[in-house]
Homo-oligomer: A and B are copies of this chain.
Amino acid sequence: TARNLLLLPGDGIGPEAMAEVRKIIAYMNEAHGAGFVTDEGLVGGSAYDAHGAAISEEDMAKALAADAVLFGAVGGPKWDDVPYDVRPEAGLLRLRKDLELFANLRPAICYPALANASSLKPELVEGLDILIVRELTGGVYFGEPKTITDLGNGQKRAIDTQVYDTYEIERISAVAFELARTRGNRVCSMEKRNVMKSGVLWNQVVTATHKDKFSDVKLDHMLADAGGMQLVRAPKQFDVIVTDNLFGDMLSDVAAMLTGSLGMLPSASLGAPDGKTGKRKALYEPVHGSAPDIAGTGVANPIAMIASFAMCLRYSFNMVTEADRLEKAIANVLDKGIRTGDIMAEGCRQVGTVEMGDAILAEFKAL
């Protein structure tokens, strides 16, 4: 049976990174009859240039129909002044919302070969393996009202609204607890219940969900600001962190930077399993952005995009062996001292995007 992928390379280094994933897909189809059928669309600035929208209705329909979406990156100075609702990020936010991708999985893993690349002392990050589970379709990202009003007297008023309902917190915490069971069996929930009512509800619902269904998992609570501190102070204390959309945005970026290798980190955004088929909608994207400054120069690190495809194999197609193998291929290539510029270190060999992709593919074939 066909495995339908929609590729949305986006802007900046997105297309270059996606090209390296295409090679892996082609190989898996040829050598293993994996049956991937790929289609392609535009998102972000490139969609705006073509259609005047951050994603076209046609591409949205394709995304809704696909088994999984592979997403590159969006944005760049070229589109800094386009109207708010067609800015590049609007394409990504619409995909998350319309596909109901409420669970954003952001692993922060420190590859042993890269422990020195972190700005933290190596002993604090060696072996780091955190999974941040971020709520992705609620909170201040989508709550209404979200407005700027002219008050008339030279003053404007901007309003954003954070809204969370019980069920939204229940389902994201269930995802976090389930994933914790496959790892260190510990969840730390982060909010600001001392300031925000959504933090109070978050805390209550996570606690209740834990008591009802997941009392075998160890649960802690931390204020989000203290959580940010603790991530910097002693990141290895964490296993799974579950938090809301905005805190997840901040905390996952801090966690990502701890690994010293933003160009390495993948993410998965998952919907709920379909009642009938059990399938969940999904989008996979690197954590890094579109890096317009290096786009087109052939130096971008494709590893985060390739690792995102490994997550796709694991979570959308249950191809666990292949996912493990692809992740192992990445680790082996790093162990061999092959590096793109962003993770270059003394005694290593510096390569470009294509060579890195080739090296990982060769390793993947050999494993």
Q: Is B194 a contact partner of A87 (Cβ separation < 8 A)? A: yes
A146 interfacial contact with B, CB 8 Å: yes
Q: Is B232 a contact partner of A250 (Cβ separation < 8 A)? A: no
Q: Is B232 a contact partner of A232 (Cβ separation < 8 A)? A: yes
Known contacts being A198-B158, A198-B159, A200-B84, is A250 close to B233, with CB within 8 Å? Answer: no
Residues of B close to A165: CB separation below 8 A: 151, 155-158
Residues of B close to A124: CB separation below 8 A: 119
Q: Is B140 a contact partner of A195 (Cβ separation < 8 A)? A: yes
Residues of B close to A258: CB separation below 8 A: 232
Closest Cβ of chain B: how far from A183's Cβ, in Å?
Answer: 23
Of B164, B195, B231, B257, which one neighbours A141 at CB under 8 angstroms? Answer: B195
A256 vs B262: C-alpha distance when bound (angstroms): 23
The oligomer's copy count stands at 2
How many chain A residues touch the partner (CB < 8 A)? Answer: 58
Residues of B close to A256: CB separation below 8 A: 229
Closest Cβ of chain B: how far from A276's Cβ, in Å?
Answer: 24
Of B84, B146, B166, which one neighbours A155 at CB under 8 angstroms? Answer: B166
Residues of B close to A158: CB separation below 8 A: 162-165, 196-198, 200-202
A158 vs B124: C-alpha distance when bound (angstroms): 37
